[in-house]
């Protein structure tokens, strides 16, 4: 009797506890759905796939040791990147030292200075990721009448915000906006009223925000409670992509403009994505995670599709062979066609700007079809028009 093939072990870290647990656990479910799908089809090169996933607790200091453990003790055949910049970047020295093939998930500009040839990024921010994240926000503002002229930059004092702020400054200069206020706040901030007071004193036309999940919620509430109304507000907030955050804030989100990587609009219904979301949504409630999965599920599933297609095309698990193939191939995924370019970023950026419109109450179902998060940029994926200025977008409630 022939013995069963030994499983392929894919190792990685996710922030399964801590401030990013909601998004990370959403990604983990999408990974599990992919693993079940690939194993039903016979696995990778005839071998079943299993995951070894360690919780980094959203603490970058834990990451190097966990990847050494994955490689040396867990004997992972392949390793992939975890949730975001704060935990992918600390993994890079280990990955570079061991010359591993490494597909990250949500890291922004992780490889911009390292230029490691075997790294690939799943977020569609393209060859200039720092600027691409918010290019649409500034381009939209520059096209409005009367044209805004000033911007305030407000961000959390954390590693993840440095690249978006650098990109915001570049975009402000490109579109000839004057920065009239720049401030950071500690992630431990509870009372944002003084922070918003300082912004209001600048009388800025645009309010650029780069915030984490919990402070995004607090900032939205503080801005809505204030009398000051900038012409546009949002851009680089982590949080409003998550269904739970949308439901908690409800109509307070109306008028905010923010980045997304995928949205349930007609031009983004790529092959397989609807099937994935139906399976994900059927299981999300029991898992206690984002019930819709629009932010994390397509990207996380596509991450594994890239790995699988590289393995199947090369017929191996060799890191150098996988990396060489991935640099030149086009991958068909639930995020559409993906081709990597400089520093392993997408060859062409595809970052969406959405505006929240017409949200009423806190019911989750209103966010299922994209009618409440309207894609306003880029034009090729737009599902509606920007309501400008911000104060006018509130009048639709």
Task: Determine the pLDDT at residue 397.
Answer: 46
Helices (runs of H) and strands (runs of E) counted in the chain: 13, 14
pLDDT for position 212 = 84
Superfamily of domain 8-127+269-344 in the CATH hierarchy: Response regulator (3.40.50.2300)
CA distance 245 to 200: 25
Asked if the domains at 8-127+269-344 and 130-264+352-394 fall in one CATH topology, the answer is yes
> For the chain, which ranges sit under pLDDT 70?
1-3, 395-397
Residue 57 confidence (pLDDT):
94
Query: Taking the model in full, what pTM does it have?
Result: 0.92
pLDDT for the residue numbered 1: 44
Q: What is the DSSP letter of 230?
A: -
Domain boundaries, the chain: 8-127+269-344, 130-264+352-394
Strand pairing class (352-356; 373-377): antiparallel
- Provide the pairing of β-strand 330-333 with 336-339: antiparallel
Measured CA to CA, the distance from residue 277 to residue 33 in angstroms comes to 10
CATH of domain 130-264+352-394: 3.40.50.2300
């Amino acid at each position: 009797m022939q013995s069963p093939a030994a499983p392929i072990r894919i190792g990685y870290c996710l922030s399964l506890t801590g401030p990013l647990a909601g998004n990370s656990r959403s990604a983990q479910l999408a990974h599990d759905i992919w693993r079940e799908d690939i194993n039903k089809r016979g696995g990778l090169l005839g071998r079943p796939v299993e995951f070894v996933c360690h919780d980094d607790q959203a603490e970058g200091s834990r990451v190097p040791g966990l990847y050494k453990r994955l490689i040396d003790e867990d004997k992972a055949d392949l390793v992939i990147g975890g949730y975001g910049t704060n935990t992918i970047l600390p993994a890079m020295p280990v990955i570079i030292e061991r010359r591993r093939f490494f597909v990250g998930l949500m890291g922004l500009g992780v490889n911009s200075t390292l230029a490691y040839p075997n790294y690939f990024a799943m977020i569609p921010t393209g060859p200039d990721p720092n600027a691409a994240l918010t290019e649409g926000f500034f381009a939209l503002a520059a096209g409005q009448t009367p044209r805004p002229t000033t911007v305030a930059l407000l961000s959390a004092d954390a590693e993840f915000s440095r690249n978006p702020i650098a990109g915001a400054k570049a975009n402000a200069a490109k579109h000839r906006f004057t920065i009239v206020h720049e401030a950071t706040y500690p992630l431990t901030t509870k009372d944002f009223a003084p922070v918003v007071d300082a912004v209001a004193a600048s009388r800025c036309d645009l309010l650029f925000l780069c915030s984490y999940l919990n402070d995004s919620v607090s900032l939205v509430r503080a801005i809505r409670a204030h009398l000051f109304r900038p012409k546009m507000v949002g851009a680089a907030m982590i949080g409003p992509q998550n269904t739970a955050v949308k439901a908690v804030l409800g109509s307070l989100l109306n008028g905010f403009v923010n980045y997304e990587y995928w949205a349930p609009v007609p031009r983004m219904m790529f092959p397989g994505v609807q099937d994935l979301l139906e399976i994900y949504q059927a299981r999300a409630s029991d898992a206690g995670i984002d019930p819709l999965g629009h932010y994390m599920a397509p990207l996380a599933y596509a991450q594994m599709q890239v790995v699988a297609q590289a393995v199947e095309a090369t017929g191996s698990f060799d890191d150098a062979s996988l990396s060489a193939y991935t640099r030149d191939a086009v991958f068909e995924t639930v995020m559409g066609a993906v081709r990597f370019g400089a520093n392993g970023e997408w060859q062409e950026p595809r970052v969406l700007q959405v505006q929240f419109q017409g949200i009423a109450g806190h019911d989750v179902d209103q966010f299922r079809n994209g009618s409440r998060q309207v894609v306003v940029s880029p034009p090729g994926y737009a599902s509606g028009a920007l309501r400008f200025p911000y104060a006018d977008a509130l009048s639709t409630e």
